[in-house]
Structure 1
């Protein structure tokens, strides 16, 4: 017997039909054994209902939202769009990379906040984008937000179309840079155990995972490309392009006024805050004769592993060993000097003189790294700094800073503390000078002077002196570092 349904009720029936079918199918033991694979889809000119894997929703037309460039920190107000990862019409999900922008100080990958379709790109490559201005228009998916609550029935299920970066309906937590590194090396994030906060996958986790697969200790540059085998042709490694040559200034013999760029404004702000800190200085002479001999013995071994070994990894590791004994120097203090936070991780920064100006990237978690690990990371940071490609993650989070002014020239310095840190060291050049040995004989010695600055509100002179003596003892007798290495 046929039944006649009024036209005004047709849409309501279409919307409720998947729910009824879903309920009936869930009661069927035979279909439950097969798993949530049936697909039910009804489409009309006015509405669309899609049911898949015991998930039913009413899909309405999306809303076009302007995705604006948010504040990326460091006082930066404008950036240059260097590369687009999407084009108009592409579908994106949350945390997918949209574009890469570059400021005077760092390169940053911008990720999506919404699920939807790209409808408009506001800038061309190499165009200037301002903070707060729209980057793209995204037509968001209003599948569940616009539907009545009684029309949505959802049962957790893992779709076979799920990407390898999703586990049980959730994406692995990782930054776009880490996801790109995993993609370049064909690594599934679902197989990597994250050691970051709340299980977040870090760059070190990808590197360690790849090292376990290859069975070798590889530097970062080598790890970015898997070792070639007989079945797999070697991939060409894209070299980091050197920065363009800086043009020679044209002398016009006229006064010229230029506005400060965003990086210079950020430096002015930082230095203004630093000048409010009551600094005190402490200088020391260090005999590096034994360290020079040790480094010359290890230099060829490090180069055989593809790493350039300088003196800085030893200076940084000695600093970390000293901070274990004097944690007050690895601390943050608030502006009102009411609270001091002792930082568990030794993120030691290294001041670099680059074409973009003074940059201070830092080596993360030095307390857990070997001298070789530090050298690998320094090689990476120096290469990115020369190419102007240091990211925000490399430039933030420092807890203690060393300035290698001796690489340019100079014996002593008066370094300025980088707030909210409480101490900083400046390393002078290594000089060959005559010194007396234990037998009162004049010998050739490799001498370096170090200049420390500390926040006198929380660090006293005796603490700074004891730390410096311990740091000097590690470097004058580098074999003693072996006893305290983790």
Structure 2
């Protein structure tokens, strides 16, 4: 009997345990069903959210920013716009021409689209990294909506056409033509162009004004302040009295000169001057000039002087070097990149003839003519005015004999040529003769160059220029 009672108690415990297990399983099943329902609701909400954002934009406006054009340039001046609001542009189309403190650069488009906004006017300053124009980029994937987009674009262009009158029409031309137009108050859009791609040439402007090329050089500068003429006597010139002072911002090549000359004043300069009797050089140049013209090259004294300078640098490579920023190392330059200072309408520039040691005198003359033409038109690029290792300044074409040139950092020396004068000199037999005398002045960085080295270099150059036939021995 007791055995049966114990077995019944055990069976009752087993029944209670299985009841608890069933309750737990039922609760777990309910939780699983609730979790599935919640997961389904979240999934549906996510799908509907993604579906809401699947519509695409046909056109979007992109801010075309001024990229870094190198040489540490942080700002430029807008010189000319080649586009206006509403114009369609493609990749590599010219957008505008900008003038930095070192060179003129043409900015090209990186997008295909429609110009929607110009951020700057001509002669305003633009910063690197800031927008130049807004371009509406077209999306070519949705062809069905392109026609409606074009219609909307046409409506916008029509609306903006009324505002284009307030904007100055930009035309293709050169800075010299713009100068003449500003002096005569001529609207460039009224001048009939004959150049390539509708470019206005100087001849077009002169024909529009009915004047010749000589008269265009004596036009009064319209940028000066209006003056009052006070007649003194009939035999004397008129005196002009300015009504007020003018304040002009420092920009372009003037700003570059301010920076470079400020750095140059940190260099301890010393000077060295000498006279060269270049009578034989004058005779040789007269002969070579005729031969060069037959080959289509304008020939002056400078190509010979540049080549002779390069031969002198070969003898004394310390003059073709630079000092590092910490003044701990001297860097000897392998190539003779000789800069030639030029006076241009945009100010003083120093274009560089590269690898002079590997070029003939005629090749130097041809490249020098090309750089002079580009400098006059304001078309020198950064590559053409950078990388110089030695500089020559020819002040003689303006006037003057001796001077004290300022070194262009990071170079260590510079030479300045005076004008060639016909002066009396004694020959070896003490007879007076007519001689062509060239004066030349050097400045050198006294941290690197001493007086003896500069004198030796001058003697090398003097020998080459006084006896130009000796150039043949070292070419």
TM-score normalised according to structure 1 size: 0.61
The one of 413, 427, 430 equivalent to 2:403 is 413
Counterpart Cα distance in 1 of 2:84 and 2:335: 37
Return closer, same or farther for 1:346/1:331 CA change in 2, 3 Å cut-off: same
Residue 247 (structure 1) aligned with residue 231 (structure 2):
no
Match of 1:7 in 2: none
Contact kept? 2:80, 2:122, Cα under 8 Å: yes
Q: How does 1:8-27 map to 2 (within 5 A)?
A: none
CA offset at residue 337 of structure 1? 1.4
CA offset at residue 346 of structure 1? 1.6
- Deviation track 1:276-311 (CA, whole Å, cap 9, x = no partner) reads 101111111111111100000111222222222111
SS of residue matched to 1:349? strand
Contact kept? 1:81, 1:129, Cα under 8 Å: no
Counterpart Cα distance in 2 of 1:351 and 1:389: 16
CA offset at residue 403 of structure 1? 0.8
CA offset at residue 91 of structure 1? 5.8
- Deviation track 1:133-176 (CA, whole Å, cap 9, x = no partner) reads 42233467999xxxxxxxxxxxxxxxxxxxxxxxxxxxxxxxxx
Counterpart Cα distance in 1 of 2:308 and 2:452: 19
CA offset at residue 89 of structure 1? 6.7
CA offset at residue 354 of structure 1? 2.4
Counterpart Cα distance in 1 of 2:273 and 2:376: 30
The one of 400, 419, 444 equivalent to 1:454 is 444
- Deviation track 1:70-121 (CA, whole Å, cap 9, x = no partner) reads 455586734234252798575644x664432245763211234x45435435
Match of 2:473 in 1: 483
Counterpart Cα distance in 1 of 2:220 and 2:391: 28
CA offset at residue 474 of structure 1? 0.9
Match of 2:127 in 1: 131
Counterpart Cα distance in 2 of 1:459 and 1:309: 33
Q: How does 1:156-195 map to 2 (within 5 A)?
A: none
The one of 315, 319, 330 equivalent to 2:305 is 315
Counterpart Cα distance in 1 of 2:123 and 2:274: 49
Counterpart Cα distance in 2 of 1:138 and 1:253: 46
- Deviation track 1:21-76 (CA, whole Å, cap 9, x = no partner) reads xxxxxxxxxxxxxxxxxxxxxxxx968xxxxxxxxxxxx97864322224555867
Counterpart Cα distance in 1 of 2:84 and 2:364: 36
Counterpart Cα distance in 2 of 1:92 and 1:365: 37
Counterpart Cα distance in 1 of 2:245 and 2:87: 47
CA offset at residue 389 of structure 1? 3.0
Deviates more, 1:64-73 or 1:117-126: 117-126
CA offset at residue 124 of structure 1? 8.2
Return closer, same or farther for 1:98/1:280 CA change in 2, 3 Å cut-off: same
Q: How does 1:335-346 map to 2 (within 5 A)?
A: 335-346=325-336
Residue 382 (structure 1) aligned with residue 372 (structure 2):
yes
Match of 2:118 in 1: 122
Match of 2:422 in 1: 432
Contact kept? 2:117, 2:135, Cα under 8 Å: no
CA offset at residue 340 of structure 1? 2.3
Return closer, same or farther for 1:252/1:348 CA change in 2, 3 Å cut-off: same
Q: Output the aligned Cα RMSD.
A: 3.4
Match of 2:247 in 1: 258
Match of 1:69 in 2: 66
Match of 2:453 in 1: 463
Q: How does 1:100-111 map to 2 (within 5 A)?
A: 100-102=97-99, 106-111=103-108
CA offset at residue 127 of structure 1? 5.7
The unaligned stretches of length 5 or more in structure 2 are 1-53, 141-198, 204-212, 228-239
Counterpart Cα distance in 2 of 1:83 and 1:306: 35
The one of 336, 344, 348 equivalent to 1:354 is 344
Contact kept? 2:78, 2:120, Cα under 8 Å: no
SS of residue matched to 2:419? coil
The one of 254, 259, 265 equivalent to 1:275 is 265
The unaligned stretches of length 5 or more in structure 1 are 1-44, 48-59, 144-236
SS of residue matched to 1:428? strand
Counterpart Cα distance in 1 of 2:93 and 2:377: 25
Return closer, same or farther for 1:464/1:62 CA change in 2, 3 Å cut-off: farther
CA offset at residue 479 of structure 1? 1.1
Match of 1:220 in 2: none
Return closer, same or farther for 1:67/1:434 CA change in 2, 3 Å cut-off: same
The one of 364, 370, 385 equivalent to 2:360 is 370
Match of 1:50 in 2: none
CA offset at residue 257 of structure 1? 3.8
Counterpart Cα distance in 2 of 1:378 and 1:435: 33
Counterpart Cα distance in 1 of 2:338 and 2:378: 20
Contact kept? 1:118, 1:136, Cα under 8 Å: no
TM-score normalised according to structure 2 size: 0.63
- In our comparison, the structure showing a higher alpha carbon Rg is 2
Counterpart Cα distance in 2 of 1:433 and 1:81: 47
